[in-house]
């Protein structure tokens, strides 16, 4: 399961955190813990637990990377362009 499918209803918050508009661990600590648990549980990251700031930065990098991969080749394209109807 991908980040975007698991946290579909929270994508705007995750995008704001990835863009450094908010601090996810301050604004929504429950969501941060769920996302952190997701990445650790999937084996995608290993967190030291010794430095919370470093762990937070690792999680934010993962979120930003996953949100970029979610975009299409041309994010400005409409459905009609994909279907060949122009």
Domain boundaries, the chain: 3-71
Instruction: Report how far residue 29's alpha carbon sits from residue 38's, in angstroms, rounded to the nearest whole number.
Output: 14
**The pLDDT of residue 48:** 86
Name the phi and psi angles at 20, rounded to 5. 60, 30
Q: State residue 72's pLDDT score.
A: 47
What's the mean pLDDT when you consider all of the chain? Answer: 84
pTM over cut 0.85: no
Identify the residue with better confidence: 75 or 14.
14
Digit-coded pLDDT (tens) for 37-72: 999 999 999 998 899 999 999 999 999 999 886 554
Query: Residue 5: what pLDDT?
Result: 86
Do 66 and 10 contact (CB within 8 A), yes or no? no
């Amino acid at each position: 399961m991908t980040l975007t499918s698991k946290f579909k209803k929270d994508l705007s918050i995750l995008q704001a955190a990835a863009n450094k508009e908010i601090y996810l661990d301050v604004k929504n600590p429950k969501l941060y813990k769920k996302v952190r648990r997701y990445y650790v549980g999937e084996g995608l990251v290993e967190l030291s637990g010794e430095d919370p700031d470093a762990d937070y930065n690792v999680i934010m990098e993962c979120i930003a990377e996953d949100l970029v991969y979610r975009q299409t080749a041309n994010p400005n394209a409409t459905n009609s362009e994909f279907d060949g109807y122009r």
